Amino acid sequence: MNHGGMRYSLLSREIIADGVEAVARGHAYDALVTFAGCDKTLPGMMMAMVRLNLPSVFVYGGAALPADGEGATSRCSIPMRRSGRCSLET
């Protein structure tokens, strides 16, 4: 995943944590239940839980399963390889 957006990985975690914290404080929540499942939302939710110091529960959504499309199993790496090939050709 070699693109410019990957430079903002830490920033996006910070923005997610700030968003969760703003909503929880704005609505004066007594506790927090968070749900995440990727490398950016998971740490963002954990950071918010620590910052808020509220009773919290974290639910891990799990990794995305490969999808079956028209009898063939697709993997995440196949579209990425194809998009990389397209960008090299142009």
pLDDT tens for residues 26-73? 999 999 999 988 777 889 999 999 999 999 999 988 776 655 556 555
pTM of the full structure: 0.63
pLDDT confidence of residue 5: 62
What DSSP state is assigned to residue 68? E
Least confident piece of the model among 5-9, 10-14, 15-19, 26-30: 5-9
Q: φ and ψ at 71, to 5 degrees?
A: 85, -5
Q: Give the model's confidence band at 90: pLDDT under 50 very low, under 70 low, under 90 confident, else very high.
A: very low
pLDDT of residue 7 exceeding 70, the answer is: no
- Which residues are 73's β-sheet partners? 68
DSSP 65: P
